[in-house]
Amino acid sequence: MTIKYIFIQAIGFLGTILFFLSFQCRSNRNLFRVQFLSYVCYTTHLLLLGAVTGGISYIINTFRSLFLGSKWKFAHSRAMCIMICLCQVAALILTWSSWLSLLPVVANIASTIAGYTHNGRKVRIAGMFINSPLWIIYDILVGSWAGIADEVVSEISMLISIKRYGWKNLDKAEE
């Protein structure tokens, strides 16, 4: 292992820590703000690993979290959700290398749609059953140890947040 490789993994692990902390935020707005910082780390991490589709998808996620964490009304609209999903599809087309390119894009579209419901329960369901499983497979195949850890930690964090706030309490749309 080279110093460069360890440094690249460290950037990813910083993203893992931030993503874990994001699900401990009670409000969706703060959850998305912390995820924004996490996505900046992951974008850098994946691009340095040469995982272009994943890196570009994270750039789009960074904007998604910025929008969902903002007070700008249009950023919370269905139209913005559609635009972000179309950007994910464009990223898929432009960075296509194999079926592997589908994994981060499908994961991120599911998370985008869930995020735009503004419902904490739906955000966590999409994360636990679609986003994390697809990203784990992608991370294994591109060699992102930090990404694998992130998804495992994210699953644990989502379960902790469900326990902390209660499943019923998370089933509210929040703007």
Q: What percent of the chain has pLDDT over 90?
A: 62
33-60 pLDDT, tens digit per residue, is 888 899 899 999 999 999 999 999 989 9
Q: Let me know if residue 170 belongs to a domain.
A: no
Label residue 168 by pLDDT band (50, 70, 90). confident
Q: Let me know if residue 173 belongs to a domain.
A: no
Counting the structural domains of the chain, the total is: 1
| Placement of tokens 């874990």 in the chain | 20
Q: Let me know if residue 175 belongs to a domain.
A: no
| Placement of tokens 């735009």 in the chain | 116
Q: Let me know if residue 172 belongs to a domain.
A: no
Q: Let me know if residue 16 belongs to a domain.
A: yes
By residue range, what is the domain housing residue 99?
3-165
- Three-class HEC string of 35-56: HHHHHHHHHHHHHHHCCHHHHH
Q: Say if residues 153 and 16 touch (Cβ distance below 8 Å).
A: yes
